[in-house]
Amino acid sequence: MAFYAERFRREDEEDIWEELKRMLMNPIPKEAIDKLLEQKQGFVPKATKKKGIGDIDFVWGDSKGGMQHIIERRNSEGINGENFVREIPDGIKNGDKFNKNTHKDRDYIKDNEKEIVVKKEYNRKPRNWIVSSYKLKGAPSQDLSVGRALEQTYANGQQIPPLDLTKMPKDIIPPSQSNLNPANQQAKQSLTYEEWLEELKRKRKKRGW
């Protein structure tokens, strides 16, 4: 998987180009989203693909389109924007592709909870990229914490107590909650791009990719 900053230094490109080409063969959509959230700039070409559309780029973009746009709009609705964009890869994988006569320059993907908008051009050149995504009307809210959601659930007229995440097996706790040590979080965020590439290589090898 390749991540490109808005300004990519030629010496960096020469050093890691072969590695980027290998990673492009096996994109990891969720890691592409995580990298964009970390960098808050740039894009990941061919981050995923969809039958009937082809390769799809993930672009950070700005307030008018891309991941930044999606996050800002969902935050304004009281939805956690970063959590929302992290669910986009699953929406692409599990959703159905369709089109609208009103917007022929776009493809749409819809699952049970959200609609994802794929624009077919960028700067007047052919390119599939995620320009927007939003929750469908009537879809259940996903921004309640586990404890808060359970507090609002009743069974046989009795309130279910909040779930204690500290007692859950680590392998089923979401990555964002499995390690709450600030020092470890800071260390993860401070990886250089080259170190991140090496980490991604190790993950691919472990998964047999």
Q: Residue 198: pLDDT band by 50, 70, 90 thresholds?
A: confident
Confidence of residue 28 (pLDDT cuts 50, 70, 90): confident
Exposure letters 139-161 (e unless 16+ CB within 10 A, then b): eeeeeeeeeebeeeeeeeeeeee
Mean predicted confidence (pLDDT) in 141-163: 43
Q: Give 166's DSSP letter.
A: G
User: Which residues make beta-bridge pairs with 121?
Assistant: 126
Q: In the structure encoding, which two tokens stand for residue 47, read together?
A: 């981050």
pLDDT at position 1: 57
Residue 194 has pLDDT above 50, yes or no: yes
Read off the pLDDT band of 2 (50, 70, 90). low
Q: What is the pLDDT of residues 74-99, one digit of tens each?
A: 999 999 999 999 999 999 999 999 99
* Residues 62 and 68 sit within 8 Å (Cβ to Cβ): yes
Identify which of 68, 57, 49, 183 has the alpha carbon closest to the alpha carbon of residue 132.
68
State the Cα–Cα distance between residues 203 and 143, nearest whole angstrom. 29
At 144 the pLDDT is 39
Residues 177-189: pLDDT tens digits? 444 455 554 555 5
Question: Given pLDDT bands bounded at 50, 70 and 90, which one contains residue 46?
Answer: confident
pLDDT class for 199, splitting at 50, 70, 90?
Answer: confident
Number of H helices, E strands in the chain: 9, 8
In three-state secondary structure terms, 140 is coil
- DSSP structure class, residue 172: G
What pTM value is reported for the model? 0.59
- pLDDT class of 146 with cuts at 50, 70, 90: very low
